[in-house]
Chain A
Amino acid sequence: MIEHFPLWPPGASTMAPNVDALFIFLTLLSVGMTLAIFAVIIVFLAKFRRRKGVDAEQIHGSVALELGWSIIPLMIFMLIFAWGAVIFFQERTPPQDSAEVYVVAKQWMWKIEHLEGQRELNELHVPVGRNVRLIMTSQDVIHSFYIPAFRIKQDVLPGRYTTEWFRATKPGTYHLFCAEYCGTMHSGMIGDVVVMTQPDYEAWMAGGKAGASMASSGAELFQSLGCITCHRSDSQGRGPNLVGVFGKPVLLEDGRTVVADENYVRESIMSPAAKVVNGYKPIMPVFQGLVTDEQLNSLVAYVKSLSQPPAGTQSAAANTKMGPKE
C-alpha cells in the first residue's frame, strides 16, 4: 500500500536538495505560523466566550503591535526572497562546461537531438554527474519542459530559444511532463528522462544509430543553403565572418551591442534585417519558413562550433575552410 502512496517526489539532480531545503524550511515556518495563529484564536474563542454580564472591552489598537507584526514578517519575507533568489540564480546560470542537447517541442511530443547526432522522441538519456544544458524551442504553441525529480521547469516558446540546465545525481528513470497547457493531448505530452551511469551512457551512445553530428549537419546546410558564399571565413565576404563570433559582443548598425547567443544566431537566420552587424548591408534573404526547427538547431550548433577552442570540435571549422567553394 504505502509504496503506491508516495508523498514526496524523487530527487535526482544537484538542484533537488536545494529546492527541498527551502521547501522544508517554508513548510515548517508555515505550519508553525498556522498553529500559532490557530492556538491564539482558539484560546481567545474559549476564554472570551460570551457570558452574561461580561461586556467586551473596547480596545482600539496598538501602534507598537502594528509595527511589530508588519516589520517582523517583512524581515522574514526578505529572508525567504533572498533564499529563493539564490536558488533561482543557480538555476539560471548554466556552468560553462555543460553538454548541450537540443529540444524541439510540438503538439504533442518532445523531439530531442544530442550534439553527437543521436535523436530521441519523448525520451532524454543523460549521464549521471554531467552538467547538461537544454536549448529548447517549439514548433507551434507554448509548452513547458518539466522534470519534477530535478525540480526544474522552463516554458518552451515558438520563435525563440529558452534554456534550462541540470546535473543528474542518481541513475533511474524519471517523469518528463509538459507543464504548459498545449491543447487536446497536453497530458499525453509526457516522457522519460533516463539517467545512466557513465559506462551505460557511453554504451547507449555507441549503440544508437548515430547520424552525423549536429555541427556537421549544420556545416552541410551551411553549404547547401548557400550561406557560405557570403559568410566567408577569410572575412572577404558580403556577410560577416562567423568564426569566433559566438558568445562575443557584436556591434550593430544602429550602435547597439548584442551578445551573439543562440537566440541572436536564430533571429539572424530567420529575420536577418532585425539586427544587422555594423558595416554590412541588410541583403541577407529571410529563411523563416525555409528551414525547419531541427535544421535551424543544426545551423546554430555549427555556428557555435566555429567558436569552440581548437581542442574541441575544430574539425567542423576546418572542414569549412577546406570547403570546395573556397
Chain B
Amino acid sequence: MATAAVSAERENYLNREYGIRSWLLTTDHKRIALLYLVSITFFFFIGGFFALLIRLELLTPAGDLVLADTYNKLFTMHGQVMIFFFLIPSIPATLGNFLVPMMIGAKDLALPRINLLSWYLYIAGGALMLYAMLEGGVDTGWTFYTPFSTSFSNTHVVEAGLAIFIAGFSSILTGLNFVVTIHRMRAPGMTWSRLPLFIWAHYATSIIQLLGTPVLAITLVLVVLERTLHLGIFDPSLGGDPLLFQHLFWFYSHPAVYIMILPAMGVISEVLACFSRKRVFGYAAVAMSSIGIAVIGFLVWAHHMFVAGISLYAALVFSILSYLVAVPSAIKVFNWTATLYKGSISFATPMLYALGFIGLFTIGGLTGLFLAALGIDVHVTDTYFVIAHFHYIMVGGAVMGYMAGLHFWWPKITGRMYPEWWGRLAALIVFVGFNLTFFPQFILGYMGMPRRYWEYPPEFQILNVMSTAGSTILAVGYLLPMVYFMWSLRYGKVVGDNPWGAAGLEWMTSSPPPTFNFDETPEVTWEAYNYDQIPVPEEAWLE
C-alpha cells in the first residue's frame, strides 16, 4: 500500500523491503505505526457507521428504523469500538509510535518486538470484538454496568469483555515501551527540558496506560467470572455490590479520557509552534500541566457517580478534585493562545485543525465545569448534556488533534503532500458538521432528554433533527481525508524533508525516514522549538 509513496532512490523504511512478510514481521516502529494506522482507521469507520445509524434512528421520536434491542447494541458497540479500538490507540499507537523515537533521536523504541506484540494483541482483541458483533453484538452500554451486564443481558458480554481485556494489554505495552524509550533512548544532549511537548504528553499518557489499564482488565475479568460462574461480586442478589463495579470501572475509564486527550494536546503544541514559528509559550507550564492532568486525573473518578448512591461527603471530595484537574487544562489553553502572540502565523490544514481543537476543547472543558458542579450534575448527568460534553472533548478535542497531527506529519510519513485545498475544505466541513451535531445536544440535555433512549418525547425532535443533519456533514468531513490521503500516496506532490520548516529532530532526517531514522545519532545542542534558527520555506501551503 504505502509503497506507492516511495519517492526517491534513497533507501527508506518503506522501500527497504517489500512483501506482506516484511510488514507482518516488522519490528520497525514506523511500519508498526502504519499497521496501527490502517487497523484503527478500519475500526473508526465501523464505529462511525454505528453512529450514523444511531443518528438516523433519532431523526424521529418513534423507534421506527431499528428495533429497541438493535439500537441498544448500536450505541454500545459505537462506544466500545470508538473508545477501545480507535481513540485509545489513535495518536499514541500511530503518530506516537512513528514519532517518539525520532523526536528524541533514537533508532527505534526500546522494545521493538514488544511493540509488534502490542499490535498483534490489538488485532486479536479487535478480531474478538468483530466476532462478538457478528454473533449478534452486545447491549450493555460501553460501561458494562452491573448487575445488568452480569445477570440480565442476553448478549455477547463475555466475548466483548475479553476483547477489550486483550486490547488493554496492547495499550499497556505501548505505554511501557514509551516510558522505557523516553527514559533510556534520548540522544546525547536531549535533556528532559529540551523534549518536545509531544513527548511530555506521551510520557504522561503512558503513565496512565500503565497504571490504569490493569484495573480495567481486572474489572472485566470479574464481570466475566460473575456472568459465567455466578461469583457474587457485583450483583446484590448474589451478595455483591454494584457500586464496586462503578468505582473500579471509572478508576480506569476516567483517566482513559486523558489517554485520549493528552496526546492530542501534544500534537497541538507542535502544530501551533510550527505555524506561529515560535517557541510554545510557557514550555515548562505546558509540560508540567500534562503530568498534573495525569496525576490528578486518577483522583476524580467518582464524579461519574454523583447520583449513583455514594455518600454526600464522597461527592463533595470528588467534586472539588474535579475542579482541580480543570486548572492544568485551562493553563494549556491560555499558553496556546499566548503562543500566537507576536508570531508569524500561517493557516495550513494542520493549523486549522489545531485552532478548531482549541475552540472545541474550550467549550468541552467549560461544560465540564457544569458537570463537576454537584447541584447541576444531578439534573444533567445521564442526559444528552453529558453526551455533548464528552464528544466535544473526545471528537472535538482528541479527533481534531489526531487529524491535525496526521496532516502535519503526513509528508514525513509518506514523503508526499496531501492536497492542501481539499485539506482546508475538509477541516472546515468537520468543524461545521461537528458543532451542528453536538451543540444541540447540550440544550437537549438541559431539557432533560436521557441518553441511550431509542424513543423520545416529541418536543425534543427539532434539536435531534439538527444533530442528525450535522452528523451527515461530519461524515463527509471524515470521508474526504480518507480519499485524498489515499490519492496522495500516488499523486501527492513529492516534498523535501521539512516542507513546513518545522523544528524537531524528526524534520532533520529524510522523508520518508530511513529504517534506523538517522544516518548518524544526532547530538542536540538546542532547546525545543528553536524557530529563530530555522529558515521559513517559501511554499504554497504556507500562504
Contacts and interface: CB of A to CB of B under 8 A. Distances in A.
Interface in A39-96: 40-41, 44-45, 48-51, 54-62, 65-66, 69-70, 73-74, 77-78, 80-81, 83-92
Contacts of B237: 158-159
A54 B542 CA distance: 15
B462 A5 contact: yes
B375 A73 contact: no
Contact of B323 (A33, A58, A78, A188): A78
Contact of A70 (B279, B284, B331, B343): B331
A45 B366 contact: no
B491 interface: no
Given A88-B375, A152-B378, 13 more contacts: A23-B370, A26-B369, A34-B366, A48-B342, A50-B277, A51-B344, A60-B282, A85-B375, A141-B148, A142-B145, A153-B307, A158-B235, A183-B152
Contacts of A179: 381-383, 450-451
B359 A38 contact: yes
B453 interface: yes
Contact of B448 (A44, A144, A148): A148
B362 A34 contact: yes
In the A-B complex, list the 7 residue pairs whose CB atoms are closest, starting with the nearest.
Answer: A148-B448, A87-B375, A159-B236, A84-B373, A88-B374, A187-B453, A61-B282
Contact of B532 (A58, A62, A85, A190): A58
28 contacts: A26-B370, A34-B366, A37-B333, A37-B337, A41-B359, A44-B337, A48-B340, A54-B344, A56-B342, A56-B343, A59-B281, A59-B341, A61-B335, A69-B330, A77-B323, A86-B375, A87-B374, A87-B375, A88-B312, A142-B147, A149-B448, A151-B379, A153-B379, A158-B237, A179-B451, A181-B145, A187-B450, A187-B454
B343 A30 contact: no
A85 B236 contact: no
Nearest to B63: A187
A255 B347 CA distance: 71
B447 interface: yes
Contacts of B383: 179
Interface string B322-344: 01101100110111011011111
Interface in B349-386: 355, 358-359, 362-363, 366-367, 369-370, 372-379, 381-383
A158 B312 contact: no
Contacts of A178: 450
A199 interface: no
B151, B333, B450 — which one has the most chain A CB atoms within 10 A of its CB? B450
Contacts of A77: 323-324, 326-327, 369
B531 A187 contact: no
Contact of B309 (A49, A141, A157): A157
Contacts of B180: none
A313 interface: no
A48 B341 contact: yes
B450 A65 contact: no
Contacts of B366: 29-30, 33-34
Interface stretch (A6-14, A221-229, A301-309): A6-14
Contacts of B355: 41, 45
Contacts of A38: 359
B145 A50 contact: no
Contacts of B359: 34, 38, 41
Given A37-B362, A175-B448, A182-B148, A69 B453 contact: no
A34, A141, A146, A188 — which one has the most chain B CB atoms within 10 A of its CB? A141
B316 A41 contact: no
B200 to A, nearest CB: 15
A184 B69 contact: yes
Nearest to A1: B462
A158 B315 CA distance: 21
A56 B531 contact: yes
B281 A85 contact: no
Contacts of A7: 443, 447
Contact of A44 (B333, B340, B443): B340
Given A57-B342, A81-B319, A155-B309, A183 B242 contact: no
Contacts of B159: none
Contact of B320 (A49, A70, A81): A81
A87 B450 CA distance: 21
A161 B309 CA distance: 9
B45 interface: no
Interface string A225-243: 0000000000000000000
B462 A4 contact: yes
Given A73-B330, A74-B327, A186-B453, A19 B279 contact: no
Contacts of A125: none
- Please report whether the interface of chain B is mostly helix, strand, loop or mixed according to DSSP: helix
Contact of A188 (B279, B330, B455): B455
Nearest to A77: B323
Interface in B132-177: 139, 141, 145, 147-148, 151-153
A185 B63 CA distance: 11
Contacts of B282: 60-62, 65-66
B373 A48 contact: no
A177 interface: yes
B238 to A, nearest CB: 10
A1 B219 CA distance: 49
A77 B300 CA distance: 15
A153 B341 contact: no
A153 B378 contact: yes
A19 B536 CA distance: 53
A9 B448 contact: yes
B375 A181 contact: no
B378 A48 contact: no
B72 interface: yes
Nearest to A78: B323
Given A48-B340, A48-B342, A80 B369 contact: yes
B70 to A, nearest CB: 10
B72 A157 contact: no
A140 interface: yes
A217 interface: no
Contact of B345 (A45, A84, A88): A45
A206 B68 CA distance: 39
B148 A6 contact: no
A180 B141 CA distance: 10
A65 B459 CA distance: 47
Contact of B446 (A9, A141, A184, A190): A9
B8 interface: no
A4 B344 CA distance: 49
B90 interface: no
A23 to B, nearest CB: 6
A323 B448 CA distance: 50
B147 A158 contact: yes
Nearest to B150: A141
B236 A160 contact: yes
Contact of B139 (A81, A88, A183): A183
A213 interface: no
B148 A183 contact: yes
B148 A187 contact: no
A30 B389 CA distance: 13
A19 B327 CA distance: 24
A144 B305 CA distance: 12
B152, B281, B373, B447 — which one has the most chain A CB atoms within 10 A of its CB? B373
Contacts of A318: none
